[in-house]
Structure 1
Amino acid sequence: METLPTQDVMDGEYSEEEECSQESGAWGRLFPLGESFIAMDLNKEEYSFGRGENCDVPFNNNGSKKHQCFQAYSKVHFKILRQTTTTGVHVFLEDFSSNGTFINGDKVGKGNKQVLANNDEIGLALKKNKAFMFMDLVDANDSDIPDEIKERYTLTKTLGRGACGEVRLAFAKGSCEKFAVKIITKKKFTTGGKHAVNLSKQVMSEVNILKALKHPCIIGIEDVIDTPEVLYIVLELVEGGELFDKVVSLSQYDEPTAKLLFYQMLLACKYLHEQGITHRDLKPENILLQSDEKETLIKITDFGLSKFVDAGSMMKTFCGTPTYLAPEILITAGSGTYTKAIDAWSLGVILFICLAGYPPFSDERKDMDLPKQIMGGHYTFPKQYWKGVSEDAIDLIKKLMTVDAAKRITLADALQHPWFKDEDMKVKSQKLMYPDQDVMGPPSTKPKSSPKKRPMAPSSDEPEAKRRGSCDTNSPPTTPTT
């Protein structure tokens, strides 16, 4: 059974005209996660699901391959029951299958019954073969969600939380297309006790610019909805996870893979700069991966948030941690005027982490605090951790992480660096970015009009050479410092 073809998340099938039904009296709703499953409201006390024609919800593949595990489904695979108990009204899933029904990846087991809670995911035969997400319409607390959101989207489970707020999965009403909605409480980004206000016309014009951006390595912004207290940004959903988590799981990338991913990051950020946009908060958590594959398309997100918050609050709250901040931001305590060079610095830190598996600056150092390390460019490349990395890669990091912003390499020049004289890598990146195109050159992409823990720094028990030392980044050498 474990050899059945599956994928972690699959798009449900539905017609363009079909809406997520909203029948009166419904107490629950199922959203499709697997192919050939449909959205439906639950208003009866009991529903049966399976291959049998007599089921309330029969699975019939009609000879189609879309039900990849069809033959593994039982005639009655599971039931959903709404029952009154001594502790109140509860929803249960009862498993009748031979091959298993899963709730959030845990097998229920034939003959067993388990409470079904809001946002639980139901899998059939294999835990990765996801079929539905259950939404409890009685217990779901969306009282704080504005009508403008409710009229167009159904918000379900939380995908993540960070310094900027939370991200929730959303299904568009009318199509059930999936999106990620970033929910930002604006009071977190105000200074001097001022109350948050609605976005001005000027900033809303910036929103329209952001929505018009078109690049394969940049998350698409579907919509921005502003309320007095909260900002809702509706984003393209990417389901391969964050670069941060991948680095943590791998410890570090091999150099060819790091080069492929970083090349895409540079192209995307250069595109943003060409549109007059500076990201200002580049970090591994804001680099998303399209798939679990080693060589995958990357997507940069959160590039527009700096448009919506007070620039003076950037260092204190917006970025959460100074690890990726350029020295000039720390030197002026977040109150200065910055150039696009701040993104080049952050990209250098990201490349350092991808190749080494730890950050160049650490708050574990006893001799120097974190801001001082960054402002002075005190980082180094211990041979025992960098011996397998090319001198070209290290040289690019030094040029990106040059303390003097005026001498820091630009993204355009970084793309011409000797490290990127790799035609095989460029062919791979083009295929990832433009899979439907046979030509090498990319098409025109100009627009039509709880903070996570950082990757672990070397322990204080590691050799002193790894934790200490300074690199003169104003005149970067071409060989690694050991």
Structure 2
Amino acid sequence: MSLSRKRLFTVAEDQTSTTSIPKRQVFHYQTIAKLYSVEANTPHITIPKKSGGVLIGRSSSCDIKLTGSDVSSKHCQFSLTTNPLEYLLITDMSSNGTYVNNELLGKGSNALLRSGDKISFAKTGGTYIFRYAIDIKNDKSFQKKSFFDDYIMGNQLGSGHYAIVREARDRTTGDIVAVKIFHPNKSSSNNNENEDAKLRQEMNLLLSIDHPNIVRFISHYVEPINQYASTTYLVLEKMNNGELFQRIINKLKLRQNETKAIFKQLLEGLHYLHQKNIIHRDIKPENILLDVIPKTSTDQKSLGPWDEDEYDVKVKIADFGLAKFIGELKFTNTLCGTPAYVAPEILKNNRNYSTKVDLWSSGVLLYVCLCGFPPFSDELGPPNMREQILNGTYAFYSPYWDEINDLVLDLISNLLVVDPNDRFDIQNTCDHPWFSEIDDEVKDISMIDDSNNTSNRSITRMSVRSNSQPPMTLRERYTSELNFGDEQDRSSIL
């Protein structure tokens, strides 16, 4: 295989080609990419940024000429596409095949190229590694930074409605991270610029978050899939000790002092988010991650009310797939969240809501931690779960709540308030007397100073009706899903 070029498309500083070109045919174009030959004696190919595309083949009419015996006269074409940034699209025009990463494109088919892709022109046209280039003249990086330049992809960790999560290794440091790969978004030429600006704003916000109780965001990449779609890769700190959900499943329910210690850390993370005008919108046990530090000796004393073999437990809020920067307006109106944990104002037709939706969800989570099942469920109907939430219909059922501190019930009762104006905000919640109690013995509800409460409400402990089934716990529900083959893949950052 040999290579020649009919016209020169290189920047003056490019010295990679050894092909001689008549001066009268020299055209100066910006270099957009290069094909690096994997064969020692074959020159690299420079791809110029040229409107109308760059044609490669055996014909002398091609912009770049290949002389392999099975290379077609017009073998393939490189053309620019916007998705939403500029990328190169390779279109197979050959009879003997153009291969990308060892896969045949097929005549008339195309693929959007990423740095690191391997391209082969039939059998004798050569094999090359594709890389987006650098604009040397302006000393600015023109390279499309790809996730695959910086990370080696690993095994899948889980999946959800919005994304899948995989493990990855940093090529430079060797650190293990988690990467959340969102499902593809179709591109639209009419709003590419607006959507790209919105994405940058939201990602910059996420990358600015720095709190010990929030999963750390490392970086993000927009990766093309084809000329019509792209997807976002969000690189995150990887947690190795699972979810609060799994801890509840394993234990059936959590101890009161254990729950308090976990909930304090959760509130610290939420307080930070709300100060930055960020609503999480999907607080639930699956999105609360635990970094469990084991004891290194039997003489080591735990730093909190943790299990016998645990030295400390760090709590981190994860999954900002639903988080929203709410700015000056302090509200948003997107219907989202997980059904059992969603606040009533989100379910209403007029869906204006604030950071207080996170406090409702936190109240549901606190309830679940202490008894093992949610306060709202179709199993507790009638009415159905939606109506229970809209009307704030719930109770502290006996015998599940008989030994629970009355102060906890009071806190939950101030979080599960239908009217957000009367519901505790993050500061009210952090200041609640339960967090200042030394132990979790049952306290007299009359001890609570209710002078700052906007509404006084009684705490109702109800006995489960004899003709009704007790609520299904998280463990029972999870086991039931496994038995019916309906296991939901869960990830430590979904």
Q: Which runs of 5+ in 2 are unaligned?
A: 1-37, 40-100, 104-110, 116-145, 224-228, 295-305, 307-311, 327-331, 441-452, 463-494
1:360 match: 375
- C-alpha separation between the residues in 2 aligned to 1:366 and 1:422? 35
The alpha-carbon distance between structure 1 residues 478 and 146, as it changes in their structure 2 partners (threshold 3 A), is farther
- C-alpha separation between the residues in 2 aligned to 1:481 and 1:404? 22
- C-alpha separation between the residues in 1 aligned to 2:408 and 2:386? 25
1:218 match: 214
User: What number of residue pairs does the alignment pair up?
Assistant: 287
CA shift digits 1:300-325 (9 cap, x unpaired): 0123643499x76643xxx3x31111
Correspondence 1:183 to 2:181: yes
**SS of 2:323 mapped into structure 1:** helix
The alpha-carbon distance between structure 1 residues 264 and 398, as it changes in their structure 2 partners (threshold 3 A), is same
In terms of fraction of residues, the more strand-rich structure is: 2
The alpha-carbon distance between structure 1 residues 408 and 298, as it changes in their structure 2 partners (threshold 3 A), is same
1:201 match: 197
CA shift digits 1:71-129 (9 cap, x unpaired): xxxxxxxxxxxxxxxxxxxxxxxxxxxxxxxxxxxxxxxxxxxxxxxxxxxxxxxxxxx
- C-alpha separation between the residues in 1 aligned to 2:369 and 2:340? 14
Equivalent position amino acid for 1:384 in 2: P
2:314 match: 297
CA contact (8 A) 2:334 2:351 kept: no
- C-alpha separation between the residues in 2 aligned to 1:145 and 1:379? 55
1:205 Cα offset (Å): 2.5
2:147 match: 149
The alpha-carbon distance between structure 1 residues 420 and 312, as it changes in their structure 2 partners (threshold 3 A), is closer
2:167 match: 169
1:145 Cα offset (Å): 10
Report 1:50-449 matches (<5 A). Answer: 147=115, 148-187=146-185, 199-227=195-223, 228-291=229-292, 294=306, 295-303=312-320, 305-307=322-324, 314-315=335-336, 319=337, 321-332=338-349, 336-422=351-437
| TM-score (norm: length of structure 1) | 0.54
CA contact (8 A) 1:391 1:480 kept: no
Q: Which runs of 5+ in 1 are unaligned?
A: 1-23, 26-136, 426-472
- C-alpha separation between the residues in 2 aligned to 1:476 and 1:296? 35
- C-alpha separation between the residues in 1 aligned to 2:194 and 2:292? 36
**SS of 1:263 mapped into structure 2:** helix
Equivalent position amino acid for 2:258 in 1: T
The alpha-carbon distance between structure 1 residues 150 and 476, as it changes in their structure 2 partners (threshold 3 A), is farther
1:481 match: 461
**SS of 2:421 mapped into structure 1:** helix
**SS of 1:290 mapped into structure 2:** strand
1:206 Cα offset (Å): 3.0
- C-alpha separation between the residues in 2 aligned to 1:324 and 1:145? 42
1:152 Cα offset (Å): 0.8
Equivalent position amino acid for 1:481 in 2: R
CA contact (8 A) 1:380 1:481 kept: yes
Equivalent position amino acid for 2:172 in 1: G
CA shift digits 1:208-254 (9 cap, x unpaired): 22212211000110012234432211101111101111111111000
The alpha-carbon distance between structure 1 residues 371 and 196, as it changes in their structure 2 partners (threshold 3 A), is farther
- C-alpha separation between the residues in 1 aligned to 2:357 and 2:206? 20
Equivalent position amino acid for 1:217 in 2: N
CA contact (8 A) 1:225 1:231 kept: yes
Equivalent position amino acid for 1:219 in 2: V
The alpha-carbon distance between structure 1 residues 165 and 197, as it changes in their structure 2 partners (threshold 3 A), is farther
| TM-score (norm: length of structure 2) | 0.53
The alpha-carbon distance between structure 1 residues 202 and 164, as it changes in their structure 2 partners (threshold 3 A), is closer
Root mean square deviation of aligned Cα: 3.3
CA contact (8 A) 1:270 1:411 kept: yes
CA shift digits 1:424-468 (9 cap, x unpaired): 99xxxxxxxxxxxxxxxxxxxxxxxxxxxxxxxxxxxxxxxxxxx
- C-alpha separation between the residues in 2 aligned to 1:298 and 1:138? 44
Equivalent position amino acid for 2:341 in 1: Y
CA shift digits 1:260-290 (9 cap, x unpaired): 0001111110110001111111111110000
Equivalent position amino acid for 2:221 in 1: I
1:58 match: none
The alpha-carbon distance between structure 1 residues 314 and 165, as it changes in their structure 2 partners (threshold 3 A), is farther
Equivalent position amino acid for 2:400 in 1: Y
**SS of 2:383 mapped into structure 1:** coil
1:144 Cα offset (Å): 9.8
